[in-house]
Amino acid sequence: MTSIAAIIVSYHTGRALKDCLHALAAQRGLTELVIVDNGNRPEMQGWLARFVEQTAHARLVTAAENLGFGRAVNLGVAASNARQLLIINPDCVLRPDALEALVDAAKGARSPALIGGRIFDIHGQNQRGPMRRELTAGRLVSKLFGGAGIDMPLAPQPTQPIAVDVTSGAFFLMDRAGFDQIGGFDEGYFLHVEDIDLCKRVHLAGGEVIYHPKAGALHYGATSDVSSVFVERHKAAGFARYLRKFSSGIFSRVLAECLIPLVFAALMVRAQLADLRRGR
């Protein structure tokens, strides 16, 4: 049987992390559970230590600082010997059959293959992240001003796995060889957009990004105790890095440089309004 490791990065994550880990511990076929503590409160660190002690296939990797998501995932992957990797956010709770569905969808997929699944909120409503189109400057502007952007329609949902440009980094499965082939996560991203970048590089390497609607997970979302300004600032930096990295030709590069300040300003205004609503 193929070995599979779940890689979870946690930073100031609340109760959702416990739900995530308990669900992973019950997944059939999971052989390793690697938790990267990117910075948690002492009470959560104590809970994680006890969880690892009581869970035979779990291990804890402690970062000296908040490394950022992609760099911390790469650290967790390096601590694993598994042949397949389930990268999952600490605010995702996998359905009992989700891992088996991801593994089935990976069979026959063109390597390097990245297999994502359906995410839904606490009300059971599907979220848009798993089915997306390629990120372009035009689609980014559309998204900032209320358009569809890179999002694809949620309905009708496919009934079988389908190829997509981009799937969510909330949870996905990759073969270790494919992950290594494309160099893992680009550590130049701190938080956000690194999953879009990863999908782009899968395609550039001749692989496939697959969405499987029968692999599902509850996605709480925004569980880390950080301000919206912190999150949106790094998201803006991520978009800037992506546009500079993948823009080709003089016109595209000039357009990207003109767009980046607009993206930053729009996201900062949105973040400040969100923090005001939350009383920060």
CA-nearest of 94, 84, 88, 89 to 214 is 94
Q: What's the gap between Cα 274 and its chain centre?
A: 22
Strand (E) or helix (H) holding 256: helix 250-277
pTM for this predicted structure: 0.93
pLDDT score recorded for residue 221: 75
Predicted pLDDT at 225: 62
Whose CA is closest to 86, among 2, 202, 183, 191? Answer: 2
The rounded distance, in Å, linking the Cα atoms of 89 and 10 is: 8
Domain boundary among 219, 247, 266: 219
Handedness of CA 41, 79, 84, 190 (dihedral sign): positive
Burial zone of 61 (CB within 10 Å; 0-12 exposed, 13-18 middle, 19+ buried): middle
Residues 204 and 232 in one domain: no
Last-in-domain residue among 200, 219, 238: 219
Same domain, 13 and 143: yes
- Do 77 and 122 belong together in one domain? yes
The interaxial angle of helices 228-246 and 194-204, nearest 10 deg, is: 20
11: CATH: 3.90.550.10
The answer on 176 and 254 residing in a single domain is no
Could you report the per-residue pLDDT of 96-149, keeping only the tens digit for each?
Answer: 999 999 999 999 899 999 999 999 999 999 999 999 999 999 899 888 888 888
Report the C-alpha gap between 205 and 181 in whole angstroms: 9
d(CA 212, CA 272): 36
Q: DSSP character for 192?
A: S
Do both 74 and 179 map to the same domain?
Answer: yes
**Residue 242: domain span:** 228-277
- Whether the Cβ atoms of residue 116 and residue 212 lie closer than 8 Å to each other: yes
The total of other beta-carbon atoms located within 10 Å of residue 279's CB is 5
The first and second tokens of residue 96, run together, are 């009992």
What is the CB neighbour count within 10 angstroms for residue 187?
17
Q: Are residues 108 and 202 in the same domain?
A: yes
Instruction: Quote the pLDDT of residue 155.
Output: 84
User: Which ranges of the chain have pLDDT less than 70?
Assistant: 1, 222-226, 278-280
Rounded to whole angstroms, the maximal C-alpha distance in the chain is 57
Give the per-residue pLDDT at 79: 96
| Domain shared by 35 and 94, yes or no | yes
Give the closest residue to 261 by CA, choosing from 144, 150, 133.
Answer: 144
> Looking at the 3D structure of the chain, how many domains does it have?
2
**Domain final residue pick, 188, 219, 250:** 219
Cis peptide bond N-terminal to 161, omega within 30: no
- C-alpha to C-alpha distance for 104 and 270, rounded to whole angstroms: 40
Same domain, 37 and 153: yes
The pLDDT of residue 65: 85
List 87's β-bridge partners, or say none: 7, 172
Mean pLDDT of the chain, nearest integer:
92
180 plus 272 within the same structural domain: no
- Is residue 51 located within the same domain as residue 187? yes
Q: Are residues 180 and 256 in the same domain?
A: no
Residue 36 three-state SS: strand
* Same domain? 195 vs 93: yes
> Per-residue DSSP letters for 105-146?
HHTTPPSSEEEEEEEE-TTSPBPSTTSBPPP-HHHHHHHHTT
Question: How high is the pLDDT of residue 222?
Answer: 63
